[in-house]
Amino acid sequence: MVSGNLFHCRRNSWPAEEYVGRTALQLLDFDGGSPPEQAWRRRLNSHANLLKEFSVTFMEAMRMMSLGLRLWSYVREEASHGRKAPIDPFTKEKCKPSASQGVPLGGMGSGSISRGFRGEFKNWHIIPGLCETSPVMENQFSIFVSRDWGNKKYSSVLSPGHHEGLKKCNDSGISSWDWNLSGQHSTYHALFPRAWTVYDGEPDPDLKISCRQISPFIPHDYKDSSLPTSVFVYTLVNTGKDRAKVSLLMTWANSIGGFSHHSGGHFNEPFITAKDNPPVTFAIAACETQNVNVTVLPVFGLSGEGHDSAKQMWDRMKQNGHFDRENFEAGTSMPSSSGETLCAAVSASTWVEPHGRCTVVFGLAWSSPKIKFQKGCTYNRRYTEFYGTSERSAVNLVHDALTKYRIWEEEIEKWQNPILKNERLPEWYKFTLFNELYFLVAGGTVWTDGQPPVIDEKPSPGSNQQKSSKRGTRDTKQESVKDNHVKLTAEQVTNGGDLANGEEQSVSKYAAVHGPQMAKATNGLGSQEPIPYLLSKNGPENVGKFLYLEGVEYIMWCTYDVHFYASFALLDLFPKIELSIQRDFANAVLYEDRRRMKFLADGTSGIRKVKGAVPHDLGTHDPWHEMNAYNIHDTSKWKDLNPKFVYRDFAATGDMSFGRDVWPAVCAAMDYMNQFDRDGDGLIENDGFPDQTYDAWTVHGISAYCGGLWLAALQAAATMAHRLGDRPFAEKYKLKFIQAKAVYEAKLWNGSYFNYDSGTSSNSRSIQADQLAGQWYAASSGLPPLFDENKIRSALQKIFEFNVMKVKGGRLGAVNGMTPNGKVDETCMQSREIWTGVTYGVAANMLLHGMEHQGFTTAEGIFIAGWSEEGYGYWFQTPEGWTIDGHYRSLIYMRPLAIWAMQWARSPPKAILDAPKVNLMDRIHLSPQMIRAMNEINVRKIAPDNRCFPSSAFRCEC
């Protein structure tokens, strides 16, 4: 719980020596074993308290009762088709969320596995849209130490044994292992994409151990950042007077989380590289060097029927410290039966001399090359461009990870060091900035090779006809969540790369393989042709297509109103991915899907996707084909989606080719919004329902949020038109901007801030934290300010004094709504929530206007409540928001990536910095004819034609 004595972190707030002894840090300071000064830290014996989920008030429940009943019916209907509804507040995870998360493993878009700060492998997100949260406890690192010719021995799993179900009597499973680690002298240090676990004298008092976890997340590297692999580098320092034999053990279960290891049909097999094996899913490996001996145990189980039990495996390691080398020659095991769990193990043994040091390296890779969505479309993941489509590519992936991880670390440090070494930045900001990027790996990301999908056609019921597929190669496999058959294999190959000391090394590999799978019928649009924009070009360089979820509880891909905040991270670090997403939405704007859908808020129905409207999302069970999975409101009537689409990415990249490609969609999106300017004053009006990203917070008339975004979009569209040479459009939208700006200020400015809306409801004068989103948008795009600077700073100061500092003294972030009398706006659940990503966006806006103290203090509230040791425990699972009493809503959410908007404000991209220092709006001259025409022509209330300017010629003018 957040207490009143929390600090504002202007000092070096996380000194490593307060968690690890200075002597241990100095001893481990070789080969990257010592954690950096700037890192998020936690002791392994820290209590991982359960998190508190939000609940609605009685009055909110009454208002939402009809919606709840319709949503319940929809969830049940989707379940009857074997699908999960995109929003399902009724089904709770069996594993209750706790404050136990850590840095996830692997690159982006290839399926993710998270690892808790105490060492658990959990939150399995291998199947798109499905997250298995429970840890697989068989997956562990363990250590065995022998000294004084075996008279002194230590053994322990390198994770505290504070787990339910362990230490049962007469157990032949993992409870029989030695869970001797208390965690009192062991600490976790996180700086995404790396993490360090330091064991300071546990379990051997004379042994210092550091485990460094490394994943290939490297900005602007569109190859290695897609790889499903991680490396674990163990640094060992012997401080004792006698020689120590140290054996490290990695164990792994045939599982992709949940109950997949109980489905049966799993089998293990050691193999040599030349052997033609079935497809591989997992590979675990260790580097063998002159000083490190690697052995494997091809199979063990929890019961021990037909093979070693977990207890027998453990006892053998305690006695010998290794397995038999002959195990590499073993044949294929028998497939597992239903309910049986098969595991494999890799051991790496070495001698560490008194006061000596040694490095042992393990690798993990997984390969799930095909992405199969539930309504029929199959895609290849991005990494298959480089490793092929066989699941067996995990062998090559883990080999390359073990040979390239040093290069990855060099690139990671080159990227991070300028920020980490900047003494003007608060310490908490440095590591929170990087750690919030966890979402780009753990947020259900999918990254395809950019090629068209294979669409499976289902035969009609009762037909004996074989399935066929359209577009691409034949693919008749169906993914089944519960019936994945897994096979474990092992390999020993020569490693020609250079590792420690340039020694010749080999890599011993263990791999799990998805074998034949039980076909299941799928529901969907299998017989439908893909919509045309799926085949659109990805720009001059095809970096593939990228999806990420709004959140693991809101299963919608690339939710655009939220992506607006989160996309600063992609635009800064992987701009080609951001442009790829933007091209997808540009093509979607010009597409119409006339299939009917029911809107749950009011029970009405409408068409799924309206031409000219930016979709809310790219879909759930058939992304790109079936958009707008969100069905609570009709998002074709939302007022914030279209404005958010215009200009920023074009301004940030200076990519004229991209600008020309998306310009027809920009025209269509802008013209579409004219129907919401019902009085012809140039400014759009809201429609008396929650028609924007705050989808429970009703708006009447002109709103500060949507109206401000519209002003920014008008200015952005006019500027973009001018740069692309479309003079009529530039003139048209400059005039609209001039008209709309005057109306906006006249109706909303009250002398110190902009009112929530122009209506007469009880909350119309509320102080909305996000009221200047439009100004933030304009400033981030290098556009002139929408309002006088004194008005901008006055409104930001009002937000700081009321929404930030009047809520627990600034220790929670910015509450969405505050009344003028200094009380939290209780209009609805969203008005009383603190939204993490919005708070970061407000802080970025403050930085853009020279309010550095206010900006960092505002954002620091998110750190204190979400990431600090005294906070609520939301690290590496930052939710959409929380209430003032610490109840979260929607863990592992996209919008907190907006912290990168703060970095954007501090260091704008080169294209914006190098842009001409002139107001391009001033260079758009309105002709007398245009002014007269615009005064005489009524604003159309219909969706536009996608051919916005057929006679216009592009002429670049920068």
Predicted confidence at residue 64, as pLDDT, reads 86
Predicted confidence at residue 929, as pLDDT, reads 65
566 Cβ partners below 8 Å, 6+ apart? 439, 837, 894, 895, 896, 897, 898
Most confidently modeled of 7-11, 168-172, 536-540?
168-172
Q: Are residues 140 and 273 in the same domain?
A: yes
276: confidence class by pLDDT, cuts 50, 70, 90:
very low
In a domain, 85, yes or no: no
Which carries the bigger pLDDT value, residue 548 or residue 488?
Answer: 548
Q: Is the pLDDT of residue 549 over 90?
A: yes
Between CA 649 and CA 47 the distance in angstroms is 43
In a domain, 476, yes or no: no
Predicted confidence at residue 61, as pLDDT, reads 85
Q: Are residues 417 and 565 in the same domain?
A: no
In a domain, 48, yes or no: yes
**DSSP symbols for 588-646:** HHT--EEEEEE-TTTS-EEEEE-TTSPPS-S-SSSTTTS-----SS-GGG-SSHHHHTS
Predicted confidence at residue 539, as pLDDT, reads 58
933: confidence class by pLDDT, cuts 50, 70, 90:
low
217-221, 365-369, 460-464, 510-514: segment of lowest average pLDDT: 510-514
35-49, 214-228, 292-306, 358-372: segment of lowest average pLDDT: 292-306
> Dmax over Cα atoms in the chain, in whole Å?
98
Predicted confidence at residue 485, as pLDDT, reads 29
Q: Which residues sit opposite 366 in a β-bridge?
A: 282
Q: Are residues 680 and 814 in the same domain?
A: yes
Domain boundary among 872, 894, 909: 909
Determine the average pLDDT of the residues in 173-196. 94
Determine the average pLDDT of the residues in 365-387. 90
Cα–Cα distance list, 416 to 409, 420, 573, 852, 899 (Å) = 10, 6, 12, 21, 15
Domain boundary among 406, 428, 447: 447
Task: Give tens-digit pLDDT for 86-130.
Answer: 998 888 877 788 999 999 999 999 999 999 999 999 999 888 888
Is 140 within 8 Å of 159 (Cβ atoms)?
yes
Most confidently modeled of 305-314, 593-602, 934-943?
593-602
Q: Are residues 103 and 242 in the same domain?
A: yes
Strand (E) positions, 207-243? 207-214, 229-238
Is 60 within 8 Å of 827 (Cβ atoms)?
no
Closest CA to 20 of 187, 162, 269: 187
17: confidence class by pLDDT, cuts 50, 70, 90:
confident
Q: Is the pLDDT of residue 8 over 70?
A: no
308-322, 353-367, 488-502, 556-570: segment of lowest average pLDDT: 488-502
Predicted confidence at residue 902, as pLDDT, reads 98
Between CA 665 and CA 585 the distance in angstroms is 9
Domain around 764: 559-596+638-909
Determine the average pLDDT of the residues in 801-823. 97
Q: Is the pLDDT of residue 228 over 50?
A: yes
Is 439 within 8 Å of 896 (Cβ atoms)?
yes
In a domain, 211, yes or no: yes
Q: Are residues 443 and 568 in the same domain?
A: no
262: confidence class by pLDDT, cuts 50, 70, 90:
very low
Task: Name the amino acid, one letter, at 108.
Answer: M
Indicate the burial class of 942 (C-beta count within 10 angstroms; 0-12, 13-18, 19 or more): exposed
Residues of the chain above pLDDT 90, percent: 65
Average pLDDT, rounded, for the chain: 84
540: confidence class by pLDDT, cuts 50, 70, 90:
low
Between CA 941 and CA 943 the distance in angstroms is 7
Predicted confidence at residue 327, as pLDDT, reads 79
Q: Is the pLDDT of residue 543 over 80?
A: yes
Q: What is the DSSP letter of 471?
A: S
920: confidence class by pLDDT, cuts 50, 70, 90:
low
Q: Are residues 49 and 176 in the same domain?
A: yes
Ordered strands of the 454-457 beta sheet:
370-372, 377-380, 454-457, 468-470
In a domain, 497, yes or no: no
390: confidence class by pLDDT, cuts 50, 70, 90:
confident
Determine the average pLDDT of the residues in 189-196. 97
Which carries the bigger pLDDT value, residue 56 or residue 520?
Answer: 56
Which carries the bigger pLDDT value, residue 32 or residue 570?
Answer: 570
Q: Is the pLDDT of residue 245 over 50?
A: yes
Q: Are residues 584 and 439 in the same domain?
A: no
Predicted confidence at residue 531, as pLDDT, reads 47
What's the pTM value of the predicted model, to 2 decimals?
Answer: 0.88
Domain boundary among 909, 938, 953: 909
Q: Are residues 564 and 430 in the same domain?
A: no
Is 758 within 8 Å of 701 (Cβ atoms)?
yes
In a domain, 470, yes or no: no
In a domain, 461, yes or no: no
Q: Is the pLDDT of residue 954 over 50?
A: no
642: confidence class by pLDDT, cuts 50, 70, 90:
very high
Domain count for the chain, please give it: 2
Predicted confidence at residue 520, as pLDDT, reads 31
Cα–Cα distance list, 705 to 277, 768, 769 (Å) = 58, 8, 9
Determine the average pLDDT of the residues in 511-522. 29
In a domain, 813, yes or no: yes
Determine the average pLDDT of the residues in 629-658. 96
What are the b/e assignments for 284-323, b being 16+ CB within 10 Å?
Answer: bbbbbbeebbbbbbbbbbbeeeebbbbbbbbebbbeebbb
Q: How many CB atoms lie within 10 A of CB 535?
A: 11
CATH of the domain at 574: 1.50.10.10
21: confidence class by pLDDT, cuts 50, 70, 90:
confident
Q: How many CA atoms lie within 13 A of 732 on its CB side?
A: 17
Give the DSSP H/E element, type plus range, for residue 300. Answer: strand 293-301
Q: Is the pLDDT of residue 303 over 80?
A: no
